[in-house]
Structure 1
Amino acid sequence: MRFVLLGLFISSLTACTQNPEWTLFYYADEASISTAAKPSEHIAGYYSTSEQCLMKGAGMVKLSDSGVGSFQCGQQCVANDTGSLTCQTFVDSLIF
């Protein structure tokens, strides 16, 4: 009985520690993303799906004071030794 309870407890802990796969980069008051922009300075959140990430970015643009902004979502982003980020892929719109 103890082993069953221990197994349930451990599995419940791992369910709560799932890493988000998508990172939102939001560029306030910028109509486009500059090639000189540093994504690590523009992180606005972490999301499980690209749809969640893109919807949040679009909402942030809509709610901004100027109504202008740019965003993109990076998949599986990691920091390297120099402090910059590398992402497997970037998306900036929903693909159906």
Structure 2
Amino acid sequence: MGFIRIFLLGLFVSSLTACTQNPEWTLFYYADTKDIPHEAKLSEHISGYYATSKHCLLKGAGMAKLSESGIGSYQCGHLCVAIEGKALSCEKFIDKLEL
């Protein structure tokens, strides 16, 4: 009986730590456009949060490929934070895998 309690406690604690990781990458997706619009409000185009740039970019590519028009552009922002109202600021942006 003691082993089961310890196992369950360990499982519970490990699940808490897994949920506390903050995703560092934010996907911004722009439907039906080949180019990333320069005047777009970032907060209106958030399409997910990801732990790695690779996952973020792959999701954006998949969304563009599966869209009705087959056209879409995307970019991933690193360490984005809200500033002054609904505006967002990101440390950097990427739109392709960096090698």
What is the letter of the counterpart of residue 90 of structure 2? C
- Alpha-carbon separation, structure 1, partners of 2:18 and 2:62: 28
Give the deviation of 1:14 after TM superposition: 2.7
Aligned length: 92
Partner of 1:34: 37
Residues 29-69 of structure 1: CA distance to partner in whole angstroms, max 9, x if unpaired? 01111211111100000000000000000000000110111
Say yes or no: does 1:71 pair with 2:96.
no
What is the letter of the counterpart of residue 64 of structure 1? S
What is the letter of the counterpart of residue 23 of structure 2? P
Partner of 2:24: 21
Give the deviation of 1:12 after TM superposition: 4.5
Say yes or no: does 1:57 pair with 2:60.
yes
- Alpha-carbon separation, structure 1, partners of 2:63 and 2:18: 29
Partner of 2:97: 94
Calculate percent identity across the aligned residue pairs.
63
2:83 to 61, 71, 80: 80
- Alpha-carbon separation, structure 1, partners of 2:18 and 2:51: 13
In structure 2, the gaps of 5 or more residues are 1-5
What is the letter of the counterpart of residue 26 of structure 1? Y
Q: Secondary structure of 2:77's partner?
A: strand
CA RMSD in angstroms comes to 1.7
